[in-house]
Chain A
């Protein structure tokens, strides 16, 4: 039990979470938009149907990537450990991209913006993708697959 709290970073998590919440709040109050990253990425790349130009979405995506770069310079390189297997990264990417569009949102759109609005669809989506994630990791563990 103790080792869990050695790994966890509750304070950093909560602080970073408030920054993510504030970013979504700015999008909502200033621009009237939902800061769902999958939706904004699809719009930035004109991958919506029907296709439409959305420069605001493109600017958000650029900001997101640069924000990660800047803060990493300021607080010192943070630890990022990616899966070793390239095949896992590629298949996971396909599933995340397709699934987020089919399910109308991802962790930010449903998990942050939708849950806080108590949207029934977002409550369902978040519960389902979390459950699906738990099951996937448990299956990988029981099959002896490491990422």
Chain B
């Protein structure tokens, strides 16, 4: 078995375990963070602090590497301007996130923790991604080819 598959699997395991340990696999807790006027729960802020601390160190390490340890090159998004797609996508995402208290990672973990409920969200989320691909193909393919 290739090392890059092992690395990706272990990273996934750690991510999923972190979501459960942090309480972020519980939609009620995530919704609590967004509910400032109600039953506010600040836990998500502590999750962000822990994650950002480690990732800030990882970016510093990344700058010193000529290539990733198990791969030939970094696949990192280039610097792009803030555009209407980013803004409208974030608005829509936030509405869905607020409605259910779920984002993609916790929803996938939900498939094993609360399968009957999570499958509805995950099914709809995949449909939403497919719908976006359809729109992207129809509307944006010209502008993509120009780049």
Contact = CB atoms under 8 A, between A and B. Distances in A.
Interface of A: 4, 7-35, 37-38, 41-42, 45, 47-49, 55-57, 59-72, 75, 78-83, 86, 88-104, 106-108, 110-113, 115-117, 119-121, 124-126, 128-138, 140-141, 147
Q: Which 4 A-B pairs have the closest CB atoms?
A: A103-B89, A63-B12, A16-B22, A132-B94
A64 B122 CA distance: 14
B99 A24 contact: no
Given A13-B23, A147-B99, A7 B18 contact: no
B15 A63 contact: yes
Given A12-B22, A61-B12, 17 more contacts: A14-B49, A19-B22, A20-B14, A33-B71, A63-B11, A65-B108, A81-B27, A89-B117, A89-B124, A92-B100, A95-B95, A97-B127, A99-B128, A106-B105, A120-B82, A125-B86, A138-B36
B87 A68 contact: no
A47 B130 contact: yes
Interface string B59-70: 101100101111
A23 to B, nearest CB: 4
Contact of A102 (B21, B27, B88, B102): B88
10 contacts: A9-B22, A16-B47, A37-B103, A47-B129, A83-B101, A95-B95, A101-B132, A130-B94, A135-B94, A136-B98
Contacts of A131: 94
A62 to B, nearest CB: 7
A132 B90 contact: yes
Given A10-B42, A128-B90, A89 B15 contact: no
Contacts of A9: 22-23, 29, 43, 46
Contacts of A86: 117, 120
Most chain A CB neighbours (cut-off 10 Å) among B8, B15, B141: B15
